[in-house]
Amino acid sequence: MNNDHYKVAVARDIADLIPRYMSNRHKELEALREGLATGDFEQLRQLGHRMQGCGGAFGFSDITTLGEEIANSARGADSSRLAALIGSYREYLAKIHVVCE
């Protein structure tokens, strides 16, 4: 995930939901950071699992993919991999560009 810009196309009928959805993703990022800082792998696993489900529902397949990787890394208590994935998520959220179709 090393793009300068991440473009996500969403359906017009859900466009009004996207600002709140993105706000929740930023809160999720903070929860992931906290979970990593405290070594709460179960919280990280749960957050990753939730990301898997909510990403695809709104057309954010990269969130689904990252969620799966976070959940799997949390199961293995792989702190260094989790730190890298959370960094990728932070970068993704900072560079996302949503367009309506």
pLDDT value at 100 more than 90: no
Predicted TM-score (pTM) of the model is 0.90
Nearest Cα residue to 53 out of 71, 33, 74, 31: 71
pLDDT digits (tens, 9 = 90+) for 16-45: 999 999 999 999 999 999 999 999 999 999
Q: What does residue 77 show for φ and ψ, rounded to 5 degrees?
A: 50, 40
Domains defined along the chain, listed by start: 6-100 (1.20.120.160)
